[in-house]
Amino acid sequence: MRRAGYRFLRTMRAMLPVTRDPATSTNLFRARLLRWTRANLVPRSKVWVQVEHGLAEGLWMRLHLPEETFLWRGDHEPDVQALLAKFLKPGWIAYDIGSYVGFFALGVARVVGHEGRVFAFEPDPENAARIREHIAKNSLPAQVEVVEAAVWRATEETKVPYRRGRQARSQGGVDADGLKPVLASGEHILVPSISLDEFIARGNPAPQLLKIDVEGGETAVLAGAERLLSVHKPLIICEVHHAEAARWIGEWLPTRGYYMNWMIPAEQFPRRLLAQAPSSAF
């Protein structure tokens, strides 16, 4: 019954027509019917599915359905997927900071290939375990490494407080030094932390690309990467969650030799940042 529900939902999505205008009666009917199907015919459970579209198309993920249907469809953050597809090159080293369950890490690993490497930084132990599960299922252990730690301004000797997402585990973040995850309302746990400069000082390769989505702690991630940004100049794709962080980044990054391109939605936040150093050949 469970898999029959998934197959029916997938078939319905493929059969129902789509028009360019999302407000048309056809699209509104389609959306309502799909929501009803997910709510009534697809049992709530965790099941292995193949991503249908996008950067991770064809890769296996074990997802909570229907809550994580957006990952199954492959339409998660399409603007980020487009940027990654545009800039990534085979052989690159990429850091996925705030990896959640590895959707982007898996897709990036396929693009950078066997000569490249992806480090998936994820402090929530349940999320990190799911990333490892996805790595194994897709036979990517040589290309993706999970770093179960919060990326922070410094590597702390003691663990740092981390607030988990209640409705979605992707909403968790470090709750320290005046920074809080913008949507998390779950329990507090203690997690290891590391700065990117310390991570590289321990002998790990420097990246050509940083993808950052840490739900409000992005300034602390960047502050802990002073040497990395000054010396190696990686491309940065960063989700910025509030005005104070945007102001800090807008003043701090240019002094490290970066140009910034902001993608700002009508509601202002969260907004996307693409930052490049003109000396870098991308």
Percent of the chain with pLDDT over 70: 84
Domain 74-276 annotated CATH 3.20.20.100: no
User: For position 166, what pLDDT does the model report?
Assistant: 87
Q: Between 280 and 66, where is the model more confident?
A: 66
pLDDT at 3 over 90: no
pLDDT at 32 over 90: no
Farthest-apart Cα atoms in the chain, separation: 58
Write the pLDDT tens digit of every residue in 78-92: 999 999 999 999 999
Q: Please classify residue 251 by burial: count the beta carbons closer than 10 Å to its beta carbon, then call 0-12 exposed, 13-18 middle and 19+ buried.
A: exposed
- Whether the model pTM is above 0.85: yes
What's the CA gap between 40 and 36, in Å, rounded? 6
Domain range summary for the chain, segments of one domain joined by +? 74-276
pLDDT at 17 over 80: no
- Residue 72 β-bridge partners: none
Write the pLDDT tens digit of every residue in 152-165: 999 988 899 999 99
User: For position 157, what pLDDT does the model report?
Assistant: 87
User: For position 192, what pLDDT does the model report?
Assistant: 97
pLDDT at 218 over 90: yes
* 31-41 average pLDDT score: 65
User: For position 37, what pLDDT does the model report?
Assistant: 63
Write the pLDDT tens digit of every residue in 94-131: 999 999 999 999 999 999 999 999 999 999 999 999 99
Q: Between 39 and 160, where is the model more confident?
A: 160
Q: What is the mean pLDDT of the chain?
A: 90
CB neighbour list of residue 80: distance below 8 Å, 6 or more residues apart:
104, 211, 237, 239, 272
- Helix, strand, coil fractions of the chain, as percent rounded to 5: 35, 20, 40
Is residue 103 within 8 Å of 82, Cβ to Cβ? no
User: For position 40, what pLDDT does the model report?
Assistant: 66
pLDDT at 12 over 60: no
